[in-house]
Amino acid sequence: MIIISLVCSKGGVGKTTTAAALAAYLHVKKKKNVLMLDVDSQASLSKHVGVNTPDITLDEIILQDRTPKKAIVKTSCGDIIPAGIGLAGIDLVIGANSNALETIINDVGGNYDYIIIDTPPSFSCLSVAAITLSQAVIIPVTPQYLSLEGLQQILSNWDAKNLLGVLPTMVDRRKRVTNEVLALYKKHLGGMLYKAEIRQNVKLEEAPSHGKSIFEYAPRSTGAKCYEDFAKETLRRINRCQN
């Protein structure tokens, strides 16, 4: 079982789209058993894969001692434990030292090859737990100067030994600032910067409203090609870390 977390302290960087695409690639194209954990109270990943009214949510498992196995919903992108609004204030309830996420993974994780965790755009206790539990952490970033500052803030807050890489998203190579910022990323990050990059593509914006991954919604689109390149590079990076 390999746990992969998508992490960024800034919203609107394509983190959830990346989580859904990676899960879909592993489940559909590589025939792996995949479990997604939606740890964001906005439940964006849950909605992205078509789960809008779940019976049991992650916050109910933690706060009401509901059974994790009964919360799992099957989707075309893999299984998911969906998020609920109760996650918004969960830090105040369970505290920073809670092992709730680890308990859930220990309970159901044995059935899966990969667990993909979509974290909220903040350093909540569950975000920190996800980072700690993961063998691989991926940080999506947009090619903007403010994103570079946000990335430096993330990296200064935790030991980045399990950082698999930083993924450029919403890339528009026609813009001068895009090329300038990506050059800065390369200078500061070196091999930690993904070679794959996610180009701006309207199909990526449309797919969530249909409850589908980009591979289902527009398999021949630029977005699908970008995410396939990303997923393949992710597997190569994981293999290198394991060898």
Which tens digits make up the pLDDT trace of 20-66?
A: 999 999 999 999 999 999 999 999 999 999 998 899 999 999 989 89
Q: What is the mean pLDDT of residues 168-172?
A: 92
Structure tokens at 207: 């797919």
Contact 198/18 with Cβ under 8 angstroms? yes
d(CA 101, CA 237): 25
Asked if pLDDT for residue 229 goes beyond 90, the answer is: yes
Q: What is the mean pLDDT of residues 216-224?
A: 94
In Å, what is the CA distance from 194 to each residue of 66, 93, 108, 148? 39, 37, 31, 15
Q: State percent of the chain over pLDDT 70.
A: 93
Asked if pLDDT for residue 122 goes beyond 80, the answer is: no
Architecture of domain 2-223: 3-Layer(aba) Sandwich (3.40)
Q: Which residues pair with 141 in a beta bridge?
A: 168
Asked which of 63-77, 149-163, 202-216, 224-238 is least confident by mean pLDDT, the reply is: 149-163
Asked if pLDDT for residue 109 goes beyond 60, the answer is: yes
Structure tokens at 12: 């609107």
CA angle 161, 167, 171 (to 5 degrees): 160
Asked if pLDDT for residue 89 goes beyond 90, the answer is: no
pLDDT given at position 118: 95
pLDDT given at position 5: 96
Asked if pLDDT for residue 96 goes beyond 60, the answer is: no
pLDDT given at position 157: 63
Q: What is the mean pLDDT of the chain?
A: 89
Banded model confidence at residue 212, pLDDT cuts 50, 70, 90: confident
What global pTM score does this model have? 0.92
The domain segmentation of the chain, as residue ranges, is: 2-223
Over the Cα atoms of the chain, what is R_g? 17
